[in-house]
Amino acid sequence: MIADFFGLAVKSIRHRKIRSWLTMIGIFIGIAAVVSLISLGDGMRSAINDEFEKMGSDKIMVMPGGAGGIGMMNMMTSAAKLTEDDLKIIKKQSGVDLAGGMTFKSVAVKYKDKTKYSFVNGLPTDDTQEIFKDMESFEVLKGRDLKAGNDKETLIGYDIAYTDYFDKRPNLRDKIYIMDKPFTVIGIVDRIGNSQDDSSVYITFDAASELFGTKDEYNIILVKVKPNVEPAALAEILKKKLRRERREKEGEESFQVQTTEQLLSSVDSVLSVVNAVLIAIASIALIVGGVGIMNTMYTSIIERTKDIGIMKAIGAKDSQILSVFLFEAGIYGFIGGAMGVIIGYSISKSAEYITVVVLQQNLLTVNYDIYLIVGALAFSTILGVVSGVLPAKQAAALEPVDALRYQ
């Protein structure tokens, strides 16, 4: 019996090919959008988790700015600053293994006749430099590292050395100009994985402070926690100490203290909200698709009214008529969902290719999940069946005599 229902449904869909494809457009557009967004979102989340794992869970970040924002933009736009006094307070705490600060700013960098605005990072040259290298997966690919007193030397990012960032490619011992001050290239940093870091320039902290006019000020202070010390507990202690020294009330701090796990949680929350909003927008197409299936089913019932009358006249039950049309609606949903899954993954793989291969970014990757595929197909099929319920009930309720007389 089920095979008969399926055969009748497929025959009806194949008989009206153009209408069937138009009916499924809304379904596969919606499913394609949802699948591509979720797969890219999950892939991005996995990539970010991997980056945070590389940083290690024994790090604490102290940043200027209130609790309302995270990231580099918040650090750069905040009027509050971290100072040498803040760094001294942090270093005094018993659970702190190492603590150091850095400064950075987007300024004019010139090579030959080309000038671009790039991030210039002032790195410490003592043993605390290792914290920053761990956090950024920082490694000198060619040349040598910065050392104390080398205030006229610089490291350049991978993209500056190996792409046409400046049209012409600087090499070791070449001169580049940062805010019109000459610096000698002594090393090239290996690819980090995002365009901002890979197009950055690195100089000593003392050289950056002099260039920026920010003596004893930091954009960020990084802390390495001693073994067997809980980072979250130490972060709370640092927050209390800094709040007391700055004479600031709780909840009104001009700084943030976050562990890598807390920062990951904040980033994950933002990604989840953005993903939810995008999926909600994409779901509008699914609603349109459901309405399209319902409209097609009503039209199909009108066209097949006599057929329904004949089936009832030879003994077909209302439940069997209902099943025929529900099967048809479900097949619309399933095929639309299958097409949507294929198109969705094609879109996400294209986006991954463009960002990884063309733009050389490693955060936008596709995460293939069998549960996503099964869920998308199940949802689209159920949506089709639900959309066909009212038309199917109308078909099942037709009287045989009235159906046979229908012109």
Helix axes 17-55, 370-396, angle to 10 degrees: 150
Using only the alpha carbons of the chain, give its radius of gyration.
Answer: 31
Alpha-carbon distances of 254 from 75, 195, 218, rounded to whole Å: 11, 29, 14
Render pLDDT for 49-105 as a digit per residue (tens, 0 to 9). 777 766 777 888 999 876 545 555 555 555 578 999 999 999 999 889 989 999 999
pLDDT band of residue 219 (cuts 50, 70, 90) is very high
DSSP string, 126-169: STTHHHHHHHHT--EEEE----TT-TTEEEE-HHHHHSSTTSSP
Which range has the top average pLDDT, 35-49, 177-191, 338-352? 177-191
For 259, counting Cβ atoms within 10 Å of its Cβ (0-12 exposed, 13-18 middle, 19+ buried), the class is: buried
Tell which wins on pLDDT, 136 or 86. 86
pLDDT of amino acid 89: 92
24-28, 53-57, 197-201, 207-211: least confidently modelled range: 53-57
| d(C-alpha 304, C-alpha 310), whole Å | 10
| d(C-alpha 336, C-alpha 330), whole Å | 10
Tell which wins on pLDDT, 185 or 70. 185
pLDDT of amino acid 68: 47
Token pair for residue 34?
């949802």
| d(C-alpha 172, C-alpha 189), whole Å | 12
Q: What predicted TM-score, i.e. pTM, was given to this entire model?
A: 0.67
Nearest CA to 159 out of 359, 365, 355 is that of 359
Render pLDDT for 222-280 as a digit per residue (tens, 0 to 9). 999 998 889 889 999 999 999 988 888 888 888 999 888 887 787 778 778 877 887 78
pLDDT of amino acid 178: 95
- What does the buried/exposed string (b/e) look like for 351-384 if buried means 16 or more CB atoms within 10 Å of the residue's CB? bbeebbeeebbbbbbbbeeeebbeebbebbbebb
- C-beta of residue 352 within 8 angstroms of C-beta of residue 43: yes
Q: How many CA atoms lie within 13 A of 180 on its CB side?
A: 0
Average pLDDT score over residue span 198-205: 93
